[in-house]
Structure 1
């Protein structure tokens, strides 16, 4: 069991302080998309999360596990509730932080499909789901989400994409046909610490993948796309 008690109170200010320090030292791999003072201000406004989510935030910070964090999580929760999403497919779920937010958004009788390539992540996530009281709303699938989506029949109200970045163009081609009209295709990290503004270096498949993905979502006649410049960039696409 991880010792994360101190993170229940200190996680957000501690994160912001160390983030600022790493930028000042030039050791951060993330460029600022928004002003650091703005980031700090937004985090200061956030209502406290419940104990399970706070613990997950602490674990993610301590162990370098990628999660979307509470600012982006509130956005996807808000969009899911706005469209009345009942059926959600998540591509890349890690320890299930975003999955819990989505499961709470779909409500009783809704279904969220968790996908991750790691059985260890899936097992850890299952424990969090039980403690959060959302187990009955989640189906856990272990493997490559690009393959797993073919194993689930029907259309989806919302697809959330947070897989390895060089797979993003493949996700586009898999996900868009599976959305209902009016459904949402939401993708994290589309500004990629600002690296998308420059030509990708040879061998940098992640940056090149995101750049191609962004071109696809804006040029598709099937989507209405907006990129929100929050955190590392969040693309919100409506199926037309």
Structure 2
């Protein structure tokens, strides 16, 4: 069913910055080579990620959940000169596709891929971050949050994706729906965390922006 919200979304996309050619190509490859292309950030959200990154102008970005690398490339657009982006995923089958498009971009040498558990990899990086994008397994969102906040530089920004979870956060949570239950708890936890100030944006599947005090 086509809704008025979808019409607003289409209008917003048409009146936002154009999608870069490299990202259009990656979008096509994602639809061709993966079974869940809807996981892609896409044109409109991608331009939002790019804009937020440019406003922060981060020296160090962390992404949890790479998928095919679309969001990473959007975030990289705002990197400060000499800045770095570390992106973590568990799916080694997409590693080469990610690398191909990273290397086609101006930021290939600044982007480092990591395979494995983010909870194991993040402490080993030995870094503090200016911008973090959480877009991985929902059941670990609270664990990622508690690990990341102490690693943020003052004024740093944490972005949490899929926080509306297809509207399930507004419905009665089914007993066996662990992901929705944890996201409901996560949204409350983030909003009430005194270390940050937070706004939840109803963009696509929900994007929370949290600024570290």
Normalised to the residue count of structure 1, the TM-score between the two structures is: 0.82
Q: Which residue of 1 aligns with 2:8?
A: 38
Alignment of 1:152-167 (within 5 A): 152-167=125-140
- Does the 8 A contact of 1:110 with 1:137 survive in 2? yes
Please, which of 165, 178, 196 is the counterpart of residue 205 of structure 1? 178
Secondary structure of the equivalent of 2:155? strand
Aligned residues: 210
Alpha-carbon separation, structure 1, partners of 2:29 and 2:206: 23
Please, which of 86, 107, 126 is the counterpart of residue 59 of structure 2? 86
- Does the 8 A contact of 2:19 with 2:47 survive in 1? no
- Does the 8 A contact of 2:169 with 2:180 survive in 1? yes
1:230 aligns with 2:203: yes
Alpha-carbon separation, structure 2, partners of 1:167 and 1:217: 14
Alpha-carbon separation, structure 2, partners of 1:207 and 1:59: 30
Specify the structure having the higher radius of gyration (Cα): 1
- Give 5+ residue unaligned stretches, structure 2: none
Secondary structure of the equivalent of 2:114? strand
Alpha-carbon separation, structure 1, partners of 2:133 and 2:17: 23
Normalised to the residue count of structure 2, the TM-score between the two structures is: 0.92
Alpha-carbon separation, structure 2, partners of 1:54 and 1:158: 24
1:66-98 deviations in Å (ceiling 9; x for gaps): 111121222222122212211001000111111
- Out of 134-143 and 55-64, give the one that drifted further: 55-64
- Give 5+ residue unaligned stretches, structure 1: 1-22, 25-31
Q: Which residue of 2 aligns with 1:28?
A: none
1:175 aligns with 2:148: yes
Q: Which residue of 2 aligns with 1:118?
A: 91
1:132 aligns with 2:105: yes
Alpha-carbon separation, structure 2, partners of 1:136 and 1:158: 18
Secondary structure of the equivalent of 2:67? coil
Alpha-carbon separation, structure 2, partners of 1:47 and 1:176: 31
1:189-226 deviations in Å (ceiling 9; x for gaps): 11111110123211211111211110110010101000
Deviation at 1:127, TM superposition (A): 0.4
Deviation at 1:37, TM superposition (A): 1.1
